[in-house]
Amino acid sequence: MMPAWEEATEKLGASEEVQLAMVDCTAEKALAERLQVMGYPTLLSFEADGAVVEYEGDRSAESLITFAQRKRPGLLSRRRGYLASDGSMEPSRLDALLRLPHDVREIVHVAVDMSPFAAALVAIFCALAGAIAALACKPRTAPQFLVVECPPGVKAGQRFDVEVSEARRFRAPRARVVTIQAPAGIVPGQSFFVPLVPPQSARAVAMPAKKTK
């Protein structure tokens, strides 16, 4: 990569907006550890807002110049985190989430280049993942009524408590106590409906006029 780096350095040498520097991380091990440099070469851009952006383009001078002169992170880069006050790098969880569509696109491109079969597998996996996410985010429909059996000793119009088990997604069911009133004419052992939501109001409308031939 050194020839491309030297060419980019020569072309960007007179620029006031971009300053290039090279560090030997085998000698500056403490700096490499703070910036989480795991392999060589690693190209990092330090933005005005404190963000640390890593170059992910090819090893050509044109791509390096495009990366250095960009106004915002693009396809040639990814944000790794932000510089802390002690010079170390703090990861950004939100940036990892925002980069997910970019990673999926790269996986699809590689699969398409490999074979149609690999592309089909990736497409099926994405469809299944989307379906599972849709089912997980789908709201549960609240029950509209209960079916209660009148217990022994309860007369019509008398109130008594029942325990209702409410199912919750990804959590254990929750029990709550509801006070209901036995309806008129009920006898012990007989079941009856108890509405849980207010009924919708309705009113009669005029019947449509009959059409004459």
Which CATH number belongs to the domain containing residue 19 in this structure?
A: 3.40.30.10
Same domain flag for 70 and 20: yes
48 and 66 in a single domain? The answer is: yes
DSSP secondary structure letters along 176-213: EEEEEEPPTT--TT-EEEEESSPPPP----PPPPPP--
Same domain, 40 and 60: yes
The answer to which of 4-8, 41-45, 147-151, 170-174 has the lowest mean pLDDT is: 170-174
Domain that holds residue 179: 145-184
Q: Give me the residues paired with residue 206 across strands.
A: none
Query: Same domain for 81 and 111?
Result: no
Six token digits for residue 211: 């059409």
Q: In the prediction, which pLDDT does 3 show?
A: 92
Domain-located, residue 71: yes
User: Tell me, what's the pLDDT at 129?
Assistant: 79
User: Is the same domain home to 31 and 107?
Assistant: no
Higher pLDDT, 107 or 4: 4
| Confidence (pTM) | 0.43
Burial class (CB in 10 A: 0-12, 13-18, 19+), 81: buried
Average pLDDT, the chain: 78
Q: How many domains does the structure of the chain reveal?
A: 3
Please state which of the ranges 51-65, 71-85, 168-182, 191-205 shows the lowest mean pLDDT. 71-85
Residues 6+ apart with CB under 8 A from 68: 8, 12, 18, 20, 45
